[in-house]
Amino acid sequence: MDEVAAAIADPVRRRILELLRDRQLTAGRIAEHFEISRPAISRHLRVLRESGLVRDAVVGRERHYQLDPAHFGDLIRWLSQFDQSERWERRFDALETEVHRTRRERRTGGSPYPKERTA
Amino acid sequence: MDEVAAAIADPVRRRILELLRDRQLTAGRIAEHFEISRPAISRHLRVLRESGLVRDAVVGRERHYQLDPAHFGDLIRWLSQFDQSERWERRFDALETEVHRTRRERRTGGSPYPKERTA
DNA sequence: CGGAAGCGTAACCGGTGGGTTACATATTCT
DNA sequence: AGAATATGTAACCCACCGGTTACGCTTCCG
C-alpha cells in the first residue's frame, strides 16, 4: 500500500489514472496528453505498474495500459477509517431507522405516520 | 488535494495519522513513538497541518494535535471513481430510493408500482 | 531486407524531501 | 529571577525523484 500512496502522490500519475479511467490507452496515446518527454511518461507508467494500479498488455509493438481497480481498495479503506464524519454513517443510520419503522408499522397494521391517521 | 496526497505518501506521516485516529496527542507524545529526532517529527506535523489533515491547539507550552476528518473526503472520493467494486455508492442509492418509494406508497395507499395506478 | 514506428532503459543532472545538530522562543517550576 | 521543559525554526547534507538526451530492442511495412 506504500507503493500505491507514493504512486498517487505525483500529479502526472494522477492524470494518467484519470485518462485510463474509462478507456484503454497505449503508452503513446497517453504521452500525447502531456508536454513532458516520452521516457518520462514511460517511467511514470512503470511506477504505476509496479504499484499494481495499472496493468499492461503487449500488442505487437504497442503496450496497452488499463486500470487494475482492485488495488485502489486498500488505500480507500485505510483513508476511510479517519473519515467517520463522512455522511455514510448518517445516511446508513437514517435508512436503517426508516426500514425498522416501516417494519414496525406493517406488524402493528398502523399507518406510516401514527399521529396523522387513526383508522 | 495535491497536498493531501503528498502528505499521505510518507509512512511516518501515515503512522502519525493512525496515532491520532481516536485520541488527541501532544507533539512530544507523538514523537515518543518514533526513533527519529523531534525536529523531524515537528516538520512532519507541519506538513500534515498545512495539508489540513490535522489541526493543533496551543495549550501552555504544549501543542495538542488532532485529526481534521473533513479533508480526507476529497481524496477518498477521487480514489473511489476508479474502484468499481467500491461502487456500492450506486447500490446504496438504489436501496435508499427503493425504501423511500415503499414508504411513500404505503402512506398514500397506492400500489407498489406507479404504472399499475388504480385511479 | 532495411527503414520507420513504438517503447523501454541507461546515464546524467538539478531540485526537493527528509534526516540531523544547533539554536530560538515561550511556558512552567522552584 | 533562573533553570528546566516543550516545541518550532534554521542551516546543512545526502538520497531519491523527476526531467532530459542518447541508445537499444521489437515489430510493422515498403
Average of per-residue pLDDT across A83-88: 64
Same domain, A10 and A67: yes
Comparing A111 with B69, which gets the higher pLDDT? B69
Cβ distance of A86 and B80 shorter than 8 Å: no
A60 and A92 inside one domain:
no
Domain membership flag for residue A110: yes
Look up the domain containing A62 and give its range. 2-72
Question: What's the mean pLDDT in B63-85?
Answer: 92
Residue A4, pLDDT above cutoff 60: yes
Is A17 part of the contact surface with chain B (CB cutoff 8 Å)? Answer: yes
The CA–C1' separation of B24 and D8, in angstroms, is 19
* Residue B19, CB, strand D, below 7 Å: no
Mean pLDDT score, B46-52: 98
Give the closest residue to A4 by CA, choosing from B113, B22, B11: B11
Which residue matches cell numbers 406510516? A112
Residue A27 lies in a domain: yes
* pLDDT at B54 exceeding the cut of 80: yes
Reading across the β-sheet that carries A54-59, which strands appear in turn? A25-26, A62-67, A54-59
- Residue A78, in any domain of the structure: no
Distance in angstroms (rounded) separating the CA atoms of residues A1 and B40: 23
Q: For position A35, which CATH number holds?
A: 1.10.10.10
Both A67 and A88 in a single domain? no
Residue among A78, A73, A71 at smallest CA distance from A47: A71
pLDDT computed for residue B119 by the predictor: 38
Helices (H) and strands (E) in chain A, counts: 6, 3
**Three-class SS of residue B63?**
strand
Question: pLDDT tens digits, residue range A25-78?
Answer: 999 999 999 999 999 999 999 999 999 999 999 999 999 999 999 999 999 999
In a domain, A55, yes or no: yes
Our count of domains for chain A comes to: 2
The single-letter DSSP state of residue B117 is -
The verdict on residue A79 lying in a domain is no
Question: Is the residue at A51 inside a domain?
Answer: yes
Of B6, B72, B84, the CB nearest to A79: B72
pLDDT attached to residue A100: 74
Is A39 a member of any domain? yes
Asked if the model's pLDDT at residue B117 lies above 50, the reply is: no
Segment holding A3, helix H or strand E: helix A2-9
What the block records as the C-alpha cell of A49 is 505498474
